[in-house]
Structure 1
Amino acid sequence: MRGFVLVLICWLAACSDRLGHFAGVPATLVEVGGSRFEVRLRGTLAEATRVNPQYAPRLGPLRQQAATAMARVSGCEVRGVLGDQAVMTGILHC
């Protein structure tokens, strides 16, 4: 049991990386509709991190703004966007 807990703690520590899949990928700053995003690309995925302060933004409008930012940086069509008001991940179709 003690070994299982140790493995679980190590696994959780490995998963705590702030950027995860996009670690080490340079960001491109894009502004869309008054929101600023840092966009990172890796393979067929894009990550948009909103970097401007905004009080209680709704995900609906932000999702479209993030998709537009991802499309500008990648030059690809964005098929879907998931995430929250701060960090969104999009699926690219080039």
Structure 2
Amino acid sequence: MVSLILGLAACDAAGPGFSGAEKAIREQDGACFTLRRRGDLVEAIRTNPEVLPQFQAVAPKAGIAAQLWTGCRAEWVMGDPAMMVVGMACAGRTPPKLPKRRHTMYCELFAGIGNSFEMECHKT
């Protein structure tokens, strides 16, 4: 029971580079986020339960939540449906460059036989 409580308490723990940053809880179009800001970067951790969310559906909500919280303009969002980083253009400054990623995997989930699923992934 204690491990379950500790696991749930850590579900919005700060990612690398955002530890100790002030956090805000925001809701946008049914998605709940814990937001943390370091300069012109905002970390957005989605905390609401959702079955197989798609990044393309969640990322705009995270960007809007970050914009409303900071008063800056969201220029890009990267990450996955659970944890994203948003590059912000604030006070006339250009946004930070999009960090380079080693590899991106895109996966599709297909219904299998009975209660099983199949996943097909490819690298870009």
Query: Equivalent residues in 2 for 1:9-88 (5 A)?
Result: 19-88=15-84
Q: Which has the higher helix share?
A: 1
**Which SS does the other structure have where 2:65 is aligned?**
helix
- TM-score (ref. length: structure 2): 0.60
Q: CA RMSD in A?
A: 1.4
Q: Which amino acid aligns with 2:56?
A: G
Q: How many angstroms apart in 1 are the aligned matches of 2:56 and 2:67?
A: 17
Q: How many angstroms apart in 2 are the aligned matches of 1:60 and 1:50?
A: 14
Question: Taking CA–CA contacts closer than 8 Å with sequence separation of 6 or more, which of the two structures ends up with the larger relative contact order?
Answer: 1
What is the aligned length? 78
- TM-score (ref. length: structure 1): 0.79
Cα displacement string for residues 43-64 of structure 1 (whole angstroms, at most 9, x for unaligned residues): 0101100011111011111010
Q: Which amino acid aligns with 1:22?
A: F
Query: Which sections of structure 1, spanning at least 5 residues, go unmatched?
Result: 1-16
1:74 offset after TM fit, Å?
A: 0.7
Cα displacement string for residues 30-83 of structure 1 (whole angstroms, at most 9, x for unaligned residues): 000100000111101011000111110111110100000110111000110000
1:26 offset after TM fit, Å?
A: 2.1
1:19 offset after TM fit, Å?
A: 1.8
Q: Which residue number corresponds to residue 6 of structure 1?
A: none
Query: Which sections of structure 2, spanning at least 5 residues, go unmatched?
Result: 1-12, 91-124
